[in-house]
């Protein structure tokens, strides 16, 4: 089906992708915590997984893509300290916690749509899966991997580590972890400071609480992903993903819960996307460099010179491998805008090339084989752990060839119809289907292109009928409106504002 290799965070190796039940693939991605607007860093992570989902589908796999919504109102840490962000935001905005959930879930969907990310095939919520989470805790207690104290239930990491390896994913060692937590020993009711919460007893003022065998309370954060991935993808599934910051403790604890529950650690391949920085600084509200997705589009932010279409931002992300840290700045955005335009224009050009009458004698064999290599290696780069950056470099080379045909440096006769079709298909496949990009103009939602094509066609017909007063009137009136028509060497007509 494909020769895809994926870097597996669990084994720390690039491995051949062998789905458990091909052609079906189970993909689980940790979704957003819906208590505030998604920022552009979140967008990098979710559009990276959108590209991965798109490429798997492109390869012919049938993907069940589960991305959860974290809406249960957990505390900011596992120790039962910290704040419940859903509730504190609800107080701040004078709304019900579930109104906060609804508001930011709708906002998140809007952002994902704006960035042309496909929705997951299942989007389960933590609050919709309390029964499954409670059942998982009961099994963990029965198997001796969890214990209850005073209405709270904790996962027994030391006990688990007798059979399994806690820290296998993040490369942490349990003794070092215990040493790191030493200051907290004796400060709480847990048997060991590294034990994490599966269920927390709710204080009366805690608004989001549910009935359980241990009294009123709420689930620990890590539990929902174990419960929902098992329910929808099974005890063993293919890929689990999330941002690098989720590797520990979130994913480490998920693996422990899954193993404790059923003797299977969940996913076969663990994938982690890296963080996004702006101007060399981690994006954070306290640095004042936390830019909202909409602010990128409108340009309404002191750190931006103007608005950039979502496709330009996506294109900029794709120029760096998903697992590398990415620092973006205005120069990068400007270059990405130019680069994306160049590729889209090349695609438009080649789509409008008239196929020549085949005359294979004049075909430049060396050029054809170079082009074939450029197109086929796109797949090889994608198969090499989704190396989008190298695919884009190839697409630029293809665009340069197309421009050389247009400019006359390469004669059309040198290229066969098949090779032209191959270049067109490669650009279209990767730009639209795999990378989820749109022509730059399309992102400023306007029907301008369609309207211009209608006018260009009417002008062309007028010229054919030798009705020059109409064809000249169209050109002149457009010029008055600030739109320039240009007759290209290959017979096509382009326009610019």
Instruction: Name the binder of 120 from Zn ion, ligand AMP, none, CB < 5-8 A by kind.
Output: none
Q: Binding of ligand AMP at residue 123 (CB under 6 A)?
A: no
Question: How many Å apart are CA 390 and CA 395, to the nearest integer?
Answer: 9
Q: Binding of ligand AMP at residue 293 (CB under 6 A)?
A: no
> What single string gives the DSSP state of each residue in 236-264?
EEEEEEEEGGGIIIIIHHHHHHHHHHHS-
Interface characters, 241-280, with ligand AMP (x: CB under 6 A)? -xx-xx----------------------------xx----
Q: Binding of Zn ion at residue 69 (CB under 5 A)?
A: no
Q: Binding of ligand AMP at residue 73 (CB under 6 A)?
A: no
Question: How many Å apart are CA 224 and CA 204, to the nearest integer?
Answer: 23
Q: Which stretch binds ligand AMP (CB under 6 A): 237-245, 263-271, 413-421, 438-446?
A: 237-245
Q: Binding of ligand AMP at residue 325 (CB under 6 A)?
A: no
- Taking CB under 5 A as the criterion, the residue among 59, 117, 194, 225 binding Zn ion is 225
Query: What's the min distance (Å) between Cβ of 241 and Zn ion?
Result: 9
Query: What's the min distance (Å) between Cβ of 468 and ligand AMP?
Result: 57
Instruction: Name the binder of 283 from Zn ion, ligand AMP, none, CB < 5-8 A by kind.
Output: ligand AMP
Contact 206, 165 (CB under 8 A): no
DSSP 8-state class, residue 188: S
Tokens of 3: 């020769």
- Taking CB under 6 A as the criterion, the residue among 19, 26, 32, 220 binding ligand AMP is 32
Beta carbon nearer to ligand AMP, 45 or 193:
45
Within 8 A by CB and 6+ apart from 313, the residues are 40, 43, 115, 293, 296, 333, 336
Interface characters, 187-226, with ligand AMP (x: CB under 6 A)? ----------------------------------------
Q: Binding of ligand AMP at residue 283 (CB under 6 A)?
A: yes
Beta carbon nearer to ligand AMP, 273 or 311:
273
Q: Which stretch binds Zn ion (CB under 5 A): 55-63, 184-192, 218-226, 415-423?
A: 218-226
Question: How many Å apart are CA 296 and CA 40, to the nearest integer?
Answer: 9
Q: Which stretch binds Zn ion (CB under 5 A): 28-36, 103-111, 178-186, 451-459?
A: 28-36
Residue from 4, 8, 49, 14 nearest 382 by CA: 4
Query: What's the min distance (Å) between Cβ of 327 and ligand AMP?
Result: 11
Contact 226, 257 (CB under 8 A): yes
Query: What's the min distance (Å) between Cβ of 188 and ligand AMP?
Result: 25
Question: How many Å apart are CA 484 and CA 495, to the nearest integer?
Answer: 6
> What single string gives the DSSP state of each residue in 80-141?
S-S-BHHHHHHHHHT--HHHHHHHHHHHHHHHHHHTTPPPPSB--BSGGGHHHHHHHHHHHH
- Taking CB under 6 A as the criterion, the residue among 19, 26, 41, 97 binding ligand AMP is 41
Query: What's the min distance (Å) between Cβ of 372 and ligand AMP?
Result: 37
Give the CA dihedral 72, 77, 83, 85, nearest 10 degrees.
-40
Query: What's the min distance (Å) between Cβ of 158 and ligand AMP?
Result: 28
Instruction: Name the binder of 249 from ligand AMP, Zn ion, none, CB < 5-8 A by kind.
Output: none
Question: How many Å apart are CA 439 and CA 143, to the nearest integer?
Answer: 56
Question: How many Å apart are CA 413 and CA 424, to the nearest integer?
Answer: 17
Q: Is the dihedral of CA 207, 212, 213, 218 positive or negative?
A: negative
Q: Which residues of this protein are in contact with ligand AMP, per CB under 6 A?
A: 30, 32-33, 41-42, 44-45, 242-243, 245-246, 275-276, 283
Q: Which residues of this protein are in contact with Zn ion, per CB under 5 A?
A: 30, 225
């Amino acid at each position: 089906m494909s020769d895809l290799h994926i870097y597996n965070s669990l084994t720390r190796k690039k491995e051949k992708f062998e789905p458990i039940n091909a052609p079906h693939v189970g993909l689980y991605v940790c979704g957003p915590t819906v208590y505030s607007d998604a920022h552009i860093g979140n967008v990098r992570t979710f559009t990276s997984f959108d590209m991965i989902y798109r490429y798997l589908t492109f390869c012919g796999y049938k993907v069940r893509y589960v991305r959860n919504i974290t809406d249960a109102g957990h505390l900011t840490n596992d120790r039962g300290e910290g704040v419940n962000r859903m509730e504190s935001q609800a107080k701040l905005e004078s709304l019900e916690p579930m109104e906060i959930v609804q508001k930011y879930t709708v906002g998140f969907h809007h952002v994902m749509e704006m960035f042309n990310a496909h929705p997951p095939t299942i989007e389960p919520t933590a609050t919709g899966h309390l029964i499954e989470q409670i059942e998982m805790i009961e099994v963990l207690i029965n198997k001796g991997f969890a214990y209850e104290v005073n209405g709270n239930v904790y996962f027994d990491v030391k006990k688990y580590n007798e059979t399994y390896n806690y820290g296998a994913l993040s490369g942490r060692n349990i003794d070092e972890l215990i040493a790191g937590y030493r200051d907290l020993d004796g400060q709480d009711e847990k048997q060991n400071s590294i034990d994490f919460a599966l269920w927390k007893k709710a204080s009366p003022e805690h608004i989001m609480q549910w009935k359980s065998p241990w009294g009123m309370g709420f689930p620990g954060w890590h539990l929902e992903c174990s419960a929902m991935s098992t329910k929808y993808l099974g005890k063993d599934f293919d890929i689990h993903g999330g941002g690098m910051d989720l590797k520990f403790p979130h994913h480490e604890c998920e693996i422990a819960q899954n193993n404790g529950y059923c003797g299977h650690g969940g996913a076969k391949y663990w994938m982690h996307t890296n963080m996004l920085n702006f101007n060399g600084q981690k994006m954070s509200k306290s640095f004042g460099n936390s830019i909202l997705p909409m602010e990128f589009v409108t340009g309404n932010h002191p750190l931006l010179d103007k608005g950039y279409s979502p496709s330009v931002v996506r294109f900029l992300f794709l120029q760096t491998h998903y697992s590398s840290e990415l620092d973006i700045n205005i120069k990068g955005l400007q270059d990405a805008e130019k680069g994306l335009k160049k590729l889209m224009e090349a695609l438009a050009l080649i789509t409008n090339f008239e196929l020549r009458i085949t005359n294979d004698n004049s075909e430049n064999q060396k050029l054809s084989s170079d082009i074939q290599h450029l197109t086929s290696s796109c797949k090889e780069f994608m198969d090499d752990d989704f190396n989008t950056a190298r695919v884009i470099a190839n697409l630029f080379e293809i665009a340069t060839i197309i421009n050389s045909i247009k400019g006359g440096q390469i004669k059309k006769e040198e290229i066969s119809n098949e090779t032209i079709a191959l270049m067109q298909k490669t650009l279209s496949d990767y730009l639209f289907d795999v990378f989820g990009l749109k022509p730059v103009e399309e992102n400023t939602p306007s029907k301008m292109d369609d309207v211009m094509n209608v006018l260009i066609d009417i002008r062309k017909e007028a010229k054919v009928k030798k009705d020059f007063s109409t064809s000249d009137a169209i050109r002149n009136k457009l010029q008055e409106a600030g739109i320039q028509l240009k007759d290209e060497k290959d017979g096509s007509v382009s326009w610019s504002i």
